[in-house]
Chains A and B, each alone.
Chain A
Amino acid sequence: EIVMTQSPATLSVSPGERATLSCRASQSVSSNLAWYQQKPGQAPRLLIYGASTRATGIPARFSGSGSGTEFTLTISSLQSEDFAVYYCQQYNNWYTFGQGTKLEIK
């Protein structure tokens, strides 16, 4: 099983600032990596697929990068609605999720 490790577990950032979230795979997943956002009481929402392609309707302030084993989700200028939990997921070999990064207001 491919293990996905996200860091940090919690990230405190002020509105308007940039947030950088990391995700590492235990073995190469090529670009078969997605990012999801989850708010309390809601289902996860797809943000990024193919490591760097924004899903339909996702604002341009969200960007993804990386390939192989190292991936990054960047939110360029945090809005109030961006504070949530973010999960990475590999779909190169079945499916596994990272443990999540909680993005909180500083």
Chain B
Amino acid sequence: QVQLVQSGAEVKKPGSSVKVSCKASGGTFSSYTISWVRQAPGQGLEWMGRIIPILGIANYAQKFQGRVTITADKSTSTAYMELSSLRSEDTAVYYCARVGIAAASNWFDPWGQGTLVTVSS
């Protein structure tokens, strides 16, 4: 049973960066992709980007291009999402999720427990 465990809550100042980790256990890390999704307070789900660990290739939603960097360490089965130039609107819960590599299996399952990032001066 694959499980994704994320790093703990963060409080950051505007203009700084945050890096959130997502460690996979119980499955084959390189056989899937890892996506990152955020959810602002009381709002819906927003896809940010994904990484293909076996290739080390990342793709980003246009909204976050230039501000987000997603990486993966195959040796520790851990994915990372770094968001820079933080502003108050980036306050949200950030989730990682495992996604199938094949185009017809791109649903998100399972999800990490979420990491609350608060941006405040």
Contacts and interface: CB of A to CB of B under 8 A. Distances in A.
Interface string A75-98: 000000000000101010011111
A32 to B, nearest CB: 7
Contacts of A100: 44-45
A34 interface: yes
Contacts of A95: 35, 47, 106, 108
A45 interface: yes
Interface string A1-16: 1000000000000000
Interface residues of B, number: 23
Given A94-B61, A95-B35, A46 B107 contact: yes
Contacts of A1: 62
A91 B45 contact: no
A74 interface: no
A71 interface: no
Contact of B46 (A43, A50, A97): A97
Contacts of B99: 91
A45 B45 contact: no
Contacts of B95: 43-44
Contact of A43 (B103, B107, B114): B114
Contact of A91 (B37, B59, B107): B107
A34 B108 contact: yes
B109 A46 contact: yes
A32 B106 contact: yes
Interface string A48-74: 011000010000000000000000000
Given A49-B105, A94-B47, A95-B35, 15 more contacts: A1-B62, A32-B103, A34-B108, A43-B111, A44-B111, A46-B108, A49-B107, A50-B107, A89-B107, A94-B59, A95-B106, A97-B44, A97-B46, A98-B44, A100-B45
